[in-house]
Amino acid sequence: MTTTQTQSLGALLHAPLTTQPSLDALWMPFTNNRAFKAAPRLLVSAKDMHYRDAEGRTILDGVSGLWCVNAGHCRDEIVEAIRSAAGSLDYAPGFQMGHALSFELADRLSTILPAGIDRVFFTNSGSEAVDTALKMALAYHRARGEEQRVCFVGRLRGYHGVGFGGISVGGIAPNRTVFEAQLLPHVDHLAHTHDLGRNAFSKGQPTFGADFANDLERIVAERGGETIAAVIIEPVAGSTGVLIPPVGYLERLRAICDAHGILLIFDEVITGFGRTGAPFASQRFNVTPDLITAAKGITNGAVPMGAVMAKREIHDTVVQRAPAGIEFFHGYTYSGHPLAAAAALAMLDLCANDSLLTRGAALEDYFESAVHSLRDKPNVIDVRNFGLVGAIEMTPRAQQPGARATAAFLECFKRGILVRQTGDTIAIAPPLIISHSQIDEIFTVLGEVLGELQ
């Protein structure tokens, strides 16, 4: 018998689960399906800083779900906004039609974006935002009569989602291997900035490594700067295990792009909406890109939504120089969906009322001390932090890369703490509403787990 036959939707939505659903049909994303189905971890509800799992246990969320629930879970204002939108305008086509919420949202977003970036295109995810931004870069150069600019530059260890564009400019090997034969052509990768030899145990931005940006000069020399459409990087790389940009690195990258007429795209899917202590990391680092991609925190994770935010000149060039008719042949059925737009507007209200977009900066010192308190735990080779992001990197077990951090993740979950594991790094990025005592709780439990781990 299937779950739907044995349990009503209401029973499924409200904890605790009386019957475990059948796990067979669902092919889970980025998951060890076999291991998960042998020992499932099912979440059934959430509120503020906590999840509740199928066994009725309370789990303190140390990673904002998946870097998205910046304002904490199931906030009443967002729930109500979604409920109200669902009851009044469930869907509105976005092609050649519009509705007020998406216009209002774009307008409100433009007030928290870096100066000069004030045009917004909606997508449904970070991956779609990345592919959209890459297309915008091509469209912009073409509109300016530079159609030879067709190359992209990403960075080793970069994560830009899972579309073919995103994995082509991305630099995480396992995400590319199976698809290698069909990736975008004309893509180069900058060196990554992880340099344990010079920067291990840095607090905030590492001191050394602005010179890594010079690798763009190498690519410019090899390709010809006039062929490169855009460089895309995460200002703080998340999925690869948290890499903080060295002091001066982003500025140098910006300068090289400017010298060669190359657009700079900051993928702010995890750094947007307060994660680094400013609305966007570009503001925190005081380096303004040409395009910003965002998703996740835009709706507090409550409804899928992504966005590309563009300098006005990029928008105007594409729109005003196009022949009459549709100017940009791109868009999604759910671009600017009413439920997502309503959730995002409520999220912006919450951020304003609770000063959430700068709370990461206010908590940063306390958080930094807590993260670095783990530096002497066994196997730890680096601890790094910025805003409300922290990472603890461990030596891999012999012939088992990732196994040690996986064990840490699983043990933390058993002890009531959700963290994120990538490779042999544990990442922490809690909701921005976290209290000092909850920060203590996360790092006390994680410290105990690391202390006992083989």
Task: Using CB under 6 A, list all residues that contact ligand PLP.
Answer: 125-127, 130, 159-161, 234, 238-239, 267, 269-270, 295
User: Which residue's CB is nearer to ligand PLP, number 114 or number 304?
Assistant: 304
In this structure, which long-range contacts are made by residues 35-44, counting pairs with CB atoms below 8 Å and at least 24 apart in sequence?
41/413, 42/17, 44/14, 44/15, 44/16, 44/17
CB of 158 to ligand PLP, least distance (A): 8
CA angle, 245 then 153 then 298, to 5° = 60
User: Which residue's CB is nearer to ligand PLP, number 29 or number 197?
Assistant: 29
User: Which residue's CB is nearer to ligand PLP, number 213 or number 294?
Assistant: 294
User: Which residue's CB is nearer to ligand PLP, number 267 or number 411?
Assistant: 267
Strand ranges, E, within 337-424: 380-386, 389-394, 417-418, 420-422
CB of 433 to ligand PLP, least distance (A): 21
User: Which residue's CB is nearer to ligand PLP, number 220 or number 303?
Assistant: 303
CB of 349 to ligand PLP, least distance (A): 23
Amino acid (1-letter code) at residue 315: H
Question: Edge-to-edge strand order for the sheet containing 50-53?
Answer: 43-47, 50-53, 58-61, 417-418
User: Which residue's CB is nearer to ligand PLP, number 136 or number 295?
Assistant: 295
CB of 269 to ligand PLP, least distance (A): 3
With 0-12 / 13-18 / 19 or more C-beta atoms within 10 angstroms meaning exposed / middle / buried, residue 116 is exposed
Q: Show Cβ contacts of residue 406 under 8 Å, excluding neighbours closer than 6 positions.
A: 421
96 sits in the region (left: phi over 0; alpha: psi -120 to 50; else beta) called left
Residue nearest to ligand PLP (CB): 126
User: Which residue's CB is nearer to ligand PLP, number 169 or number 345?
Assistant: 169
CB of 265 to ligand PLP, least distance (A): 11
CB of 90 to ligand PLP, least distance (A): 22
CB of 390 to ligand PLP, least distance (A): 16
Strand ranges, E, within 57-175: 58-61, 117-123, 151-155
Amino acid (1-letter code) at residue 279: P
Asked if residues 25 and 55 have their Cβ atoms less than 8 Å apart, the reply is no
110's tokens: 């433009």
